[in-house]
Structure 1
């Protein structure tokens, strides 16, 4: 009787462990990273960062100190603010994925791409992505607390939200420079 009871308890333990693993991995990507869903206009904590995405828009041309920056596709501009929870750092990493599965990093031609943030001190600005002309529609915005190459190799958390872009501005867009926000502002 004792060996059967031990076997039964062992089987139940293995089944319980499997159910637990399934529950934990249900919200993870294949890399093991755990995603945190958030919405535009909502604060989200990702690692040591606090992030608030205000708006996302599209334009055909950016203005870089009076010089037009055109693209064969379109520019997607993300207006967001960020702070850290412990140590000063550069702003978190951002990425976009379109409905075709193509991924985009912040453009190296973006007039503004990175700034310093500090604990509980919010900084707001805009960054630009150069995306394919047919990328209008649903886009997925990712926010990483670590450089993307680290985030894809190590199981770390990241933020994700879905945005919809249907129109491209014909006006030349000037990106907002990073600015330090007052207490309680995002």
Structure 2
């Protein structure tokens, strides 16, 4: 009888230990079980069917849209990046910024320019804008998701992550750089 109780207790302890291990592994692979590919500024990264190269970021108080001022209650963070696809022409919809408080921001729908069409091994460089509160400036994490974020929440996929630092509003009014097709080998 003692052996069966001991076996039962040992089995319960084993199940609890396995559950704790699974929770710990899941905690380190968020969001949604996805795995991050960390890359540095100025480095090419493959994320799903895309290649991405982040050059840097700056902040501005106002965006210029063909002479019209586009203002925000916080600040604009302008991300300078190059992209290409690896298989078919496509649009990369999944860019985000996360501040040190854990708040995540997507590309602003009020931005004068939005994400652009890219093609296999044909690099395009341009800028996209995010609206963030002024207290979000500092160290920001750039997320590159290969699909719309709503798809990622339910499917584990790889995504890219890099860091940028934007500590102050460098320019009061900035025009976004138009997407430009780059010569072979340039980013």
TM-score bracket, normalised by the shorter chain, equals 0.7 to 0.9
Aligned to 1:96: 97
2 CA distance for matches of 1:30 and 1:103? 12
- Report if the CA contact (8 A) 1:49-1:92 is conserved: no
Matched, 1:107 2:82: no
Aligned to 2:30: 29
2 CA distance for matches of 1:27 and 1:185? 35
Alpha-carbon distance change, 30 to 68 in structure 1, aligned in 2, over 3 angstroms: closer
Equivalent residues, number: 170
Matches within 5 A, 1:109-128: 109-128=110-129
Output one character per residue of 1:102-121: Cα deviation in whole Å (capped at 9) or x when no partner: 11110011111111100000
Structure 1 residue 23, shift from structure 2 partner? 11
- Report if the CA contact (8 A) 2:31-2:153 is conserved: no
Unaligned runs of 5+ in 1: 1-16
TM-score normalised by structure 1 residue count: 0.84
2 CA distance for matches of 1:71 and 1:131? 8
Alpha-carbon distance change, 26 to 132 in structure 1, aligned in 2, over 3 angstroms: closer
Alpha-carbon distance change, 104 to 23 in structure 1, aligned in 2, over 3 angstroms: closer
Matches within 5 A, 1:36-55: 36-55=37-56
Unaligned runs of 5+ in 2: 1-17
Structure 1 residue 80, shift from structure 2 partner? 0.4
TM-score normalised by structure 2 residue count: 0.84
4+ long deviations beyond 4 Å: 21-27
2 CA distance for matches of 1:23 and 1:32? 12
Aligned to 2:138: 137
Matches within 5 A, 1:1-40: 28-40=29-41
RMSD (CA atoms): 2.2
Matched, 1:169 2:170: yes
